[in-house]
Amino acid sequence: MSTHHILIPKVSTLVAVWAALIVLTGVTSAVSYLELGEWNIVVALLIALTKASLVAWVFMAVRHSTTLTRLFCVAGLAWLSILILLTYSDYHTRDWTYQAKPWSTNKAAGDSR
């Protein structure tokens, strides 16, 4: 049975991860009050990704698990990215084709999305 291979986590590790998650929650809330433009979402997602990885790695015991489990985790993420990125690519590149050339090259036109 599975008991033979189980590595029992230390309480101190678990509490440390919990503390890190709480701190990161505070950080992500605080950062959202800063004006970072496009970077707000990037930072928020990076923090969320870190938190999720912590939960998966320690709480869900991926760190002690088999390659197969890790493969499944990666597959889940990979397919989620396929879904979101390929869908998003359509919306993001639509303008590339159809945008008419502006008559005057004023400064604002340069960063048109």
Partner 1 sequence: MDASMLGMWTFLITEVLFFGGMFAAYAVYRNMYPAAFASTSKFMDVILGGTNTAVLICSSLTMVLAVRAAQLSKRRDLILFTILTMIFGTAFLVIKAFEYHSKWVEHLIPGFDFQYDEPRYQHNAQILFFLYFCMTGMHALHMIVGLGLLTYLLVQSVRRVFNADYFAPVEMIGLYWHFVDVVWIFLFPLLYLIGHRR
Partner 2 sequence: MATIAHGTPEIAAEEVNYLNVEHGWKSWLLTTDHKRIAFLYLISITAMFFVGGAMAVLFRINLLQPEGIFSAETYNRLFSMHGIVMVFFFLVPSIPATLANFLIPIMVGAKDLAFPRVNLLSWYLYIFGAIFTLYAVIRGGVDTGWTFYAPYSSTYSNSYVLSAAMGVFIAGFSSILTGLNFIVTVHKMRAPGMTWGRLPLFVWANYGTGLIQVLGTPVLAITLLLLFFERVAHVGIFDPNIGGDPILFQHLFWFYSHPAVYIMILPGMGVISEIVACFSRKRVFGYNFVAFSSMGIAVLSFVVWGHHMFVTGEAMYTSVAFSFLSFMVAVPSAIKVFNWTATMYKGSVSFDTPMLYCFGFIGLFTIGGLTGLFLAALATDVATHGTYFIVAHFHYVMVGGMVMAFLGGLHFWWPKITGRLYPEAWAKFAALIIFIGFNLTFFPQFILGYLGMPRRYHAYPPEFQALNVLSTAGASILGIGYLIPMIYFVWSLKAGPKAGPNPWGATGLEWEIQSPPTTFNFDETPTVTKEAYDYGPVEEIVG
Partner 3 sequence: MPASLTLLLADLQLFPPAASAQAGPIDALYWFEVIVSAIMTAGIFIAVIFLAWKYRRRANVRATQIEGSTFLELSWSILPFLVMLVMFWWGAKLFFAAQNPPKDAMEVFVTGKQWMWKVQYPDGTREINALHVPVGQPVKLTLASEDVIHSFSVPAFRVRHDVVPGHYDSLWFTATKPGRYRLYCTEYCGNQHASMGGWVDVMDDREYANWAGGGSHGSLAEQGQKLFEQNGCSTCHQLDQQGRCPILRGVYNKPVQLDDGRTVTADDSYLRESILDPNAKVVSGFQPNIMPNFKGQLSEEQVIQLIAYVKSLSPATPASQQGVQQRPVVIAPRAKAPQ
Q: Which residues lie near partner 1 (CB under 8 A)?
A: 1-3, 6, 8-9, 11, 14-15, 17-18, 21-22, 25-26, 28-29, 32-33, 35, 40, 44-45, 47-48, 51-52, 55-56, 58-61, 65-66, 68-69, 72-73, 75-77, 79-80, 83-84, 87-88, 91-92
Task: Return the ∠ at Cα 23 (arms to 55 and 48), rounded to 5°.
Answer: 50
Locate tokens 């359509």: which residue?
90
User: Rounded to 10 degrees, what is the CA torsion of 7, 8, 12, 15?
Assistant: 100
Among 26, 89, 102, 109, the residue binding partner 2 under the rule CB under 8 A is: 89
Rounded distance between C-alpha atoms, residue 103 and residue 37, angstroms: 29
Give the interface with partner 2 as residue ranges (CB under 8 A).
68, 75, 79, 82-83, 86-87, 89-94, 96-97
